[in-house]
Amino acid sequence: MEHLLVGLVAAGAAALTFFSGFGLGTAMLPVFAIFFEPEVAVAATAVVHLLNNVLKLGLLRGHVDGSVVLRFGFPAMVAAFGGAVLLDRLAAIEPAATYRLAGRAFEVEWVAVVLAAVLLAAGVQELTGSDRISFGRRALPVGGLVSGFLGGLAGLQGAVRSAFLLKLGLSARGFIATGVAVGLMVDVVRVAIYGTAGGLGDAARPGVIVAGVAGASIGTVVANRFLHKATIGWVRLVVGTLLIVVAVALGAGLL
């Protein structure tokens, strides 16, 4: 039963987030947390995310913008380490707010408040069609640093990356493929770190992780069949909506 649950969630999340470039990890982490300790759940999520990105890159490799990957991806990988270090320092700071809902306690961290404001602004901009904030390719290294740093700090580098890449004028396929390539670079670093730290040491239920990988693969293949119908305008609608959803969840302390 647990394998079916993980597989179904992974399939649905992979299909729904195929076009946005983020959201699979956010959906999978709570499910894996049911079966594993928190650190193992994080590592298992990273494994599913990495292997799913490998599959997507195989399907879309012909549409990757190599210059964006090089100038955005490598700075993101480096900056992710700095964000992770700062996260340890910020952990000692009192949360911005605490509240209880349905018998559970929730905390709103300051870093989540800041990131929520950024993502909310980006999401509203995408949905309203405003292009008052735009980035040229000269700003790619800076965008990579910001995305990687916030990813290391708050674990949502995919949302920031998608918000940035949408400003580059890429096609729908180019946007998805390039985001996958950059995400894969970060995933390799994450999984290597988790493996070294022992986060993947719990081998008691490898079938659960395999179910997640299989489900995500099925969802990706299904979504890819509809890729020819996607336009960059439709992708902007999906990304903008998800950015706002994630921003609200962050601001409420749900993520």
Coil, strand, or helix at residue 104?
strand
pLDDT at 177: 94
pLDDT at 217: 96
Rama region for 22: left / alpha / beta (φ>0; ψ in -120 to 50; rest): beta
pLDDT at 98: 84
Kindly report whether the global pTM for this prediction surpasses the value 0.85. Answer: no
Q: How far apart are CA 183 and CA 220, in angstroms?
A: 15
Q: How far apart are CA 112 and CA 123, in angstroms?
A: 16
Token pair for 150: 């916030």
- Its domain, for residue 239, covers 2-251
Per-residue pLDDT of the chain (255 residues; tens, 9 = 90+): 778 889 999 999 899 889 888 888 878 877 887 787 766 777 788 889 899 999 999 999 999 999 999 999 999 888 877 776 676 566 567 777 888 887 788 878 776 777 788 778 777 766 776 555 556 677 789 888 988 887 666 666 777 788 788 888 889 899 999 999 998 888 887 777 766 655 565 545 688 889 999 999 999 999 999 888 877 787 778 878 887 887 888 778 776
**What does each C-alpha distance from 113 to 123, 181, 187, 246, 252 come to in angstroms?**
15, 28, 25, 12, 9
Q: How many domains does the chain have?
A: 1
Q: How far apart are CA 173 and CA 214, in angstroms?
A: 23
Q: How far apart are CA 67 and CA 128, in angstroms?
A: 29
pLDDT at 2: 78
pLDDT at 167: 80
DSSP 156-215: -HHHHHHHHHGGGT--HHHHHHHHHHHHHHHHHHHHHHHHHHTTT---S-HHHHHHHHHH
- Please name the residue ranges forming H helices in the chain: 2-17, 24-35, 38-60, 66-68, 74-90, 110-128, 140-154, 157-165, 172-197, 206-224, 232-251
| CA angle (243, 248, 250) in 5-degree steps | 95
